[in-house]
Amino acid sequence: MVIVWTAFANKSLNIIKEFYAETAGTKKAHEIERIIIRSVDILVRSPKIAPVEPFSQNVAQTFRALVVMRKFKIFYFTDDENDRVYIAYVWDCRRNPEILIKNIRKYYDK
């Protein structure tokens, strides 16, 4: 499998990075970014390792979510035909889940 970061995933990761740069400093922000990016490496070998997200029954893709540092979820979907894993969204789990579903539907709705 090949990992592909969507524009939306990159944007959401940058928002997290900017938040931590402001609240905890740039060193911590870069550390978190590095951990999140490295976490997706496991998906190359085991793309089905994370559970399917229940809300994904209402959108075009079946999303899985890999938990990172107990604070973040990396939402992704697979394209088995083209041997790809698409990173769709990086989410800080401490945020309102209604915003998560709204954002996912905005970009990936049926």
**45-103: per-residue pLDDT in tens?**
999 999 998 877 766 788 999 999 999 999 999 999 999 999 999 999 998 888 887 87
Domain extents in the chain: 2-108
Edge-to-edge, what's the strand order for the sheet holding 64-68?
2-5, 84-92, 72-79, 64-68
Q: CATH class for domain 2-108?
A: alpha beta
Please determine, for residue 29, whether its predicted confidence score (pLDDT) is greater than 60.
yes
Residue 27 confidence (pLDDT)? 98
- Give the predicted TM-score (pTM) of the model: 0.89
Distance CA 6, CA 20 (A): 21
